Amino acid sequence: MELYIDDANISEIRRLIDLYPIDGVTTNPSILAKTGENPVKVLKEIRSILGPEKYIFAQTIPMTAADMIRDAHALVSLLGEKTVVKLPSIPEGFKAIRTLSTEGILTCGTVVYTPMQAYLAAKSGAAYVAPYINRIDNMGFDGVHVVQQIQDILTLHGFNTKILAASFKNSQQVLSLCAYGIEAATCAPSVIDSFVKNAAIDGAVNDFLKDFEKIAPSGQSMADLIS
């Protein structure tokens, strides 16, 4: 499963990329607004941290297909080939996705709350569709189940479109979708950290450290002892 950071905080992106096998960063206008900085400057900084190979997802702002396409071209020319342009899964968005996909620009149908939105974005040629698990849960439906249903529909109809599962509130939701074979997930830094936040793991690691100190001077590693 591709794993993306759903955040634009530069120090958090640096920290997480250093520690985890991260495939890129996803943003939306609300995420960029949280930085309080010029969005173009932030996106360029994220690209420089990611390097040319990892993916950055950036969203178009206008509400008409023609202007969405204009934003998409500007984003790709700013951020390079490994850019996935997010467009809302609404009628004008489907129209823009159809044009962009014929131009070879990678797109993500975002703001997906229903399987039919995902179906239409996929049929329009989107490389990804992004359903919002936690927001669907908050509407009184089962977000994980909706994503599984979308995956079944994409498979049944033979679309190459990947699901970029988004809007998680906990690691269990991510695990359920990972086990179902969902191809990509984007998570806030706190959710990524929660994958391995567990007292049993910390306890086991500390026990190994304490036991080793019984047979070697404190703070010494294998390399120290061997050299």
CA 160, distance to chain mean position in Å, is 18
- Binder to ligand E4P among 3, 5, 6, 88 (CB under 6 A)? 6
Residues within window 141-180 making contact with ligand E4P, judged by CB under 6 A: 166-167
Cβ-based nearer residue to ligand E4P, 135 or 212:
135
CB-nearer residue toward ligand E4P: 94 or 132: 132
d(C-alpha 61, C-alpha 88), whole Å:
9
Among 26, 107, 124, 148, binds ligand E4P (CB under 6 A): 26
Of the two residues 109 and 125, which places its CB atom closer to ligand E4P in the complex? 109
| C-alpha distance from residue 152 to each of 115, 132, 223 (Å) | 10, 17, 50
CA angle 68, 72, 76 (to 5 degrees): 175
The number of angstroms, rounded, from the C-alpha of 152 to the middle of its chain's C-alpha atoms is: 20
Rounded CA-CA distance 155/78 in Å is 33
Interface with ligand E4P, residue 117, by CB under 6 A: no
Of 61, 22, 28, 64, the C-alpha closest to 43 is 28
Q: Assess 87 for contact with ligand E4P (CB under 6 A).
A: no
Please indicate whether residue 86 is annotated as part of the active site.
Answer: yes
Can you tell me which of 55, 94, 119, 132 binds ligand E4P, judged by CB under 6 A?
Answer: 132
What is the nearest approach in angstroms of ligand E4P to the Cβ of residue 141? 14
Per rule CB under 6 A, is residue 110 in the interface with ligand E4P? yes
Catalytic residues: 86
